[in-house]
Amino acid sequence: MSGIFPSKTLSVAINRKPAEVCEYVWDGNNLPEWLISFCQSVQQAGDAWILETTEGRMTFRFVEKNPFGVLDHEVTLPSGSRIMNPMRVVPNGSGCEVLFTLLQLPEMSDERFAVDAGMVERDLLSLKVRMERAEANSEG
């Protein structure tokens, strides 16, 4: 691939410490709980996670755990194509901001790009709700 692709960075503020959000996201067992747009189930396979999705079986692999809030992950689609998804967790006051950058690859129509952006927004909101509900439950 060459050139610069159109992109959209989506974010959500979460009232939890960055490290707590990172730990939750890195645990692939949690994917079906917050990746609600397409993940139906998951099972671990070595350092990867096999997802059953609405579009077929996909492989999901995170970068190594790190103290910098980098949650980039590679997804291998049913077609065999691989996509690297940039994802970050950064401090925001007493909580954090989760950012996901969606790239519009050459084979992706404008309509599909908009649909995917909507899915990412739903998933980030789901992550926020899960994390903040867990925080509220631990306080009460």
pLDDT of the residue at 134: 81
Q: Cα separation of 122 and 22, whole Å? A: 18
pLDDT in tens, 23-68: 999 999 999 999 999 999 999 999 999 999 989 999 999 999 999 9
DSSP 8-state symbol, 105: -
| Tokens found for residue 99 | 């950012």
Q: Cα separation of 2 and 40, whole Å? A: 33
Check residue 80 and give left, alpha or beta (phi > 0: left; psi -120 to 50: alpha): left
Return the CATH fold of 7-133: Alpha-D-Glucose-1,6-Bisphosphate; Chain A, domain 4 (3.30.530)
Rounded to the nearest 10 degrees, the angle between the axes of helix 18-26 and helix 110-139 is: 110
Average pLDDT over residues 102-131: 96
Run of H or E residues at 89: strand 87-92
pLDDT in tens, 80-116: 999 999 999 999 999 999 999 999 999 899 999 999 9
Domain assignments of the chain as residue spans, ordered by start: 7-133
